[in-house]
Amino acid sequence: MREILYLNNDWKYSDNFEDDMILPGYGDSTMEVVRIPHTVAVTPFNYFDDRIYQKVSCYRKSFNAEQSWKGKRIKLCFMGAAHEANVFFNGQLLGTHSSGYTSFSFDITDRIRFDGPNCLVVKLDSRESLNVPPFGFVVDYMTYGGIYRDVLIELTDKTYIEDSFVYTTVPAVYNASEDAKEIAPKAVGSFINAKIKISGDIKGCTLKHYLKRVSGVMPGGEKDEYENRVLMAETSANETNDFSYHTLPVCVWDVTNPALYDYEIELVKDEKIIDSKTERFGFRSARFVADGFYLNGRKLKIRGLNRHQSYPYVGYAMPSSMQVEDARILKEELGVNAVRCSHYPQSQDFINECDRIGLLVFMEFPGWQHIGDEAWKEQAIVNEKEMIIQYRNHPSIIIWGVRINESADDDEFYKKTNEVAHELDPSRQTGGVKASGKMHTFEDVYTYNDFSFEGTKNGCQKKKAVTPDMNKGYLVTEYNGHMYPTKSFDDENHRKEHAIRHVKVMDAIAGEHDIAGGFGWCMFDYNTHKDFGSGDRICYHGVMDMFRNPKMAAFAYGMQQDEENVLEISSSMDIGEHPAGIREDIWIFTNADSVKMYKNNLFIKEYKREDTPFKNLKHGPILVDDFVGDQLYENEKFSKGMADAVKRALNIAATSGMGKLGFRDYITGAKLLTLYKMSVKDVVDMYQKYIGDWGGKATSFKFEAIKDGKVVKTLVKETVSDVRLETIVSSEKLYEGRTYDVASIRIRAVDQNGNVLPYFNECVKAKTEGAIELIGPKTIPLRGGMAGLYVKTRRRQGSKGKLHLKLEASEKIKKDIEFTVMEGEGRNV
Ligand code: GAL
């Protein structure tokens, strides 16, 4: 039977390669013992040169074959090695693989030794001078080197299932206008199509196909046929087998109820199961048409973000748990329904999680703006084929990107990439990301990076201004990004503008009935080359920082979902933060029905969801426009009309400054002095009393988010009197399984009310003991009041690990986190 054995531990690594290193033991004493995922260079946080990971390095692993492997077919698989791997086995070259983003394998059945250790060596070239995508010009992201995804051995019978592709034909089960939130799970009879390839001696073989539902809720909570394993069919096997069956009602995979099924194939010979393979998939239909995107018949506006697969210090080298965590953050914290894997295929663990949680995926082959020579293009086609064959069973993937991101037209090349995609996967449409409108289009969907929004005017271009063919679907694949780089330690106005720009584009796209949706650039900041970014080798384009801490713009996304209550205010309410003490616009980011605002515990105003100017979004930010409330009517002896006029003037002065007071307001002022006999000092005192100002008495603002009549979240903004460290740990349970495990710890300096302190830049010192160790430096500064660190498990070092965090400047501010390390895959399956 099929068996997977991971080869992630006990590799020897050298920063350079010598020919003799393909021999066992050569240079052992100078080589470092490492585990996979591995990076060829641990990088600083910023200000580093990409040359530190551009090298030819050597990985060597010695392992013994078990006697039980005899007679089996033995396949060696690399899930990801960046960027060109020459693989040697027992002194001989097995082959070369020239893409850092897809997996590859070699059949080592005839080369394996049973009489002594086997020697596996990888000569890894991670130089950007390679003539393969994405190299050849400049690239706006670092392309870290290393064997950074799992290495494994797959054992099967010599006659085995080589490949299986499952896709479905599902009728439209929802109405076009059904709302994403309210839709109930649906079940419907569908078609399941399978292409199965068998290798070896197929004479007398039979294939058995089973179906089993593994997640999702059946309508009405009923049990369905496929909740248990059900035999679908039995057929005699050929080398290539095409099947199509009609099913009894099955639960459809959707963003709200991502029902997954296992398609299990058994290869039977002489009544013995000689191989079996399981493909996890979903029943769903996903189509881009002229007026938008339809999932299972329902029109769904795609609201997504672009993701790179990089992390501070270790580049691409993070295990499954961190990939899974990114998918969770996208869905739960950022509330998006889609992600674009820019600009290369990303970890299977990440995509598996997208399948599991219902996050739609735009998947594309590697490349960035540049198209190389014929050899380069051939490699691009190989990359494309590998991408489609390796990822085509994932229900979350709704479109293939088959153009080099933002490259020029190349008709012959792109005719070919589209043909390849349609041939290998008849079930999905193609896109190809373009930087200009009206380009040649062999793809099914016009996918375009719309950077037209520069802060004013329209949030996006019209479809007809961009596409040459109105009959095809149209999707915005990037917006914002370099148009407004923003650091978490930028001033408040800048961070707010960044957030509002994201809102404006989202709102504009939501308002265009024929745009399928959009992907913001991008999920988090990333290290980049000298040609881009802020000079420190970081593109500050994220709605989160590199550690996945939220910038203000993250709330603009997070508030679009309804599962978690969101309440955030764009201001700390400190007027000294703003030029001339002018507050300008203050926005409430919430998904609540309404927000009540109090000043020093006095009710001022209830803001309703409908008050937002962003009418196309379900939840749009709401502008704070009243600091006075009913106080003037209650406290002062003004007529109703006069109180209204004074309130208006006070609110204008509070948000926009005296300079913005109009003629009407000056008349009001004159009336106060004449009719109401107030002195100038009285007027100033009144301003201090109701608005509060420079040097005035500290004000406490309270905001209550209300849903279904209940306060669901409260936020208080007042003078900071205490600083605490808040930590968000991805998981305190870690697993030593196929390799080491990692937990992310996001750290924030917060005040007594839990508000992040954006200018708190002190250092945190971290110390570990027991079963965990730190990734990266031991002392880290907070940036924008936030930081992050990663701990990884240590092999065979017990089951308890402790992380001690302490603020360098104040011994009092500290925190301990305890981790339990267990054996097994745990959640990482
Ligand atoms: C796009 C490109 C992205 C990123 C972005 C920055 O042109 O596709 O990779 O560089 O600009 O806004």
Give the C-alpha separation, 719 to 427, whole Å.
58
What pTM did the predictor assign? 0.97
The rounded Å distance from CA 50 to ligand 1 centre is 18
pLDDT of residue 693: 65
Give the C-alpha separation, 294 to 612, whole Å.
28
CA-521 nearest atom, ligand 1: 12
Q: What is the pLDDT of residues 422-464, one digit of tens each?
A: 999 999 999 999 999 999 999 999 999 999 999 999 999 999 9
Give the C-alpha separation, 545 to 526, whole Å.
8
Residue among 620, 616, 597, 608 at smallest CA distance from 707: 608
Contact predicate 179/212, CB 8 Å? no
Q: What is the pLDDT of residues 313-364, one digit of tens each?
A: 999 999 999 999 999 999 999 999 999 999 999 999 999 999 999 999 999 9
Residue among 422, 424, 354 at smallest CA distance from 389: 424
Residue among 299, 302, 335, 284 at smallest CA distance from 447: 302
pLDDT of residue 205: 97
Catalytic annotation on 406?
A: yes
Cα distances (Å, whole numbers) of residue 722 to 422, 695, 704, 758: 60, 21, 22, 14
Question: Cβ-count burial of 545 within 10 angstroms (0-12 exposed, 13-18 middle, 19+ buried)?
Answer: buried
Q: What is the pLDDT of residues 677-694, one digit of tens each?
A: 999 999 999 998 888 766
Give SS3 for 497.
helix
Above 70 in pLDDT, residue 827? Answer: no
Q: What is the pLDDT of residues 573-629, one digit of tens each?
A: 998 999 988 889 999 999 999 999 999 999 999 999 999 999 999 999 999 999 999
Contact predicate 261/195, CB 8 Å? no
pLDDT of residue 809: 84
**Predicted confidence band at 551 (pLDDT cuts at 50, 70, 90)?**
very high
Q: Which of 364, 384, 406, 497 is catalytic?
A: 406
pLDDT of residue 481: 98
**Predicted confidence band at 300 (pLDDT cuts at 50, 70, 90)?**
very high
| CATH superfamily of domain region 160-286 | Immunoglobulins (2.60.40.10)
* Helix (H) / strand (E) containing 686: helix 680-690
| Residue of 478, 524, 525 best suited for mutating to test ligand 1, as the one with most atoms within 8 Å of CB | 478
pLDDT of residue 829: 43
Cα distances (Å, whole numbers) of residue 114 to 68, 71, 108: 10, 11, 12
Token duo for residue 305: 């973000």
Cα distances (Å, whole numbers) of residue 590 to 256, 351, 595: 21, 29, 8
Question: Cβ-count burial of 529 within 10 angstroms (0-12 exposed, 13-18 middle, 19+ buried)?
Answer: middle
Please provide residue 383's backbone torsions phi and psi, each rounded to the nearest 5 degrees: -60, -40
Which among 175-179, 653-657, 697-701, 718-722 has the top mean pLDDT?
A: 718-722
pLDDT of residue 391: 98
Contact predicate 502/543, CB 8 Å? yes
CA-481 nearest atom, ligand 1: 12
Cα distances (Å, whole numbers) of residue 78 to 2, 347, 593, 765: 17, 12, 50, 37
Partners of 294 in the β-ladder: 287, 299
Mean of per-residue pLDDT scores for the chain: 95
Above 80 in pLDDT, residue 757? Answer: yes
Q: What is the pLDDT of residues 62-112, one digit of tens each?
A: 999 999 999 999 999 999 999 999 999 999 999 999 999 999 999 999 999
Pick the CATH number of 298-564 from 3.20.20.80, 1.20.1740.10, 2.60.40.10, 1.10.3720.10: 3.20.20.80
Partners of 197 in the β-ladder: 163, 240
Give SS3 for 356.
helix
As a three-state string, the secondary structure of 110-149 is CCCCCCCCEEEEEEEECCCCCCCCCCCCCCCCCCCCEECC
Cβ-Cβ contacts under 8 Å for 561 (sequence gap 6 or more): 332, 335, 591
CA-480 nearest atom, ligand 1: 12
Q: What is the pLDDT of residues 369-406, one digit of tens each?
A: 999 999 999 999 999 999 999 999 999 999 999 999 99
| Residue of 137, 139, 482 best suited for mutating to test ligand 1, as the one with most atoms within 8 Å of CB | 482
Cα distances (Å, whole numbers) of residue 666 to 463, 627, 659, 662, 680: 47, 19, 11, 7, 13
Higher pLDDT, 808 or 398: 398
Q: What is the pLDDT of residues 245-272, one digit of tens each?
A: 999 999 999 999 999 999 999 999 999 9
CA-435 nearest atom, ligand 1: 7
End-to-end CA distance of the chain: 20
The rounded Å distance from CA 27 to ligand 1 centre is 43
Residue corresponding to tokens 């930590």: 727
Residue type at position 829: V
Does the CA dihedral 621-623-627-633 come out positive or negative? negative
> Closest residue (by CA) to atom 5 of ligand 1?
481
pLDDT of residue 223: 85
Share of the chain above pLDDT 90, in %: 91
- Can 160-286 and 724-828 be said to share one CATH topology? yes
Above 50 in pLDDT, residue 828? Answer: no
Contact predicate 256/183, CB 8 Å? yes
The rounded Å distance from CA 660 to ligand 1 centre is 38
Q: Indicate the fold that domain 3-155 takes in CATH.
A: Jelly Rolls (2.60.120)
pLDDT of residue 222: 80
Token duo for residue 57: 């390095």
> Closest residue (by CA) to atom 4 of ligand 1?
140
Above 50 in pLDDT, residue 480? Answer: yes
Q: How many residues does the chain have?
A: 829
CA-405 nearest atom, ligand 1: 8
Above 50 in pLDDT, residue 53? Answer: yes
Q: Indicate the fold that domain 724-828 takes in CATH.
A: Immunoglobulin-like (2.60.40)
Q: Which of 128, 325, 364, 478 is catalytic?
A: 478
Above 70 in pLDDT, residue 701? Answer: yes
Higher pLDDT, 179 or 763: 763
Ligand 1 residue neighbourhood (C-beta within 6 Å): 140, 342, 405-406, 449, 478, 481-482, 521, 541
Domain spans, the chain: 3-155, 160-286, 298-564, 575-717, 724-828
**Predicted confidence band at 209 (pLDDT cuts at 50, 70, 90)?**
very high
The rounded Å distance from CA 306 to ligand 1 centre is 10
The rounded Å distance from CA 134 to ligand 1 centre is 14
Give the C-alpha separation, 452 to 454, whole Å.
6
**Predicted confidence band at 182 (pLDDT cuts at 50, 70, 90)?**
low
Contact predicate 803/772, CB 8 Å? yes
Above 70 in pLDDT, residue 164? Answer: yes
Catalytic annotation on 66?
A: no
| Residue of 403, 404, 449, 525 best suited for mutating to test ligand 1, as the one with most atoms within 8 Å of CB | 449
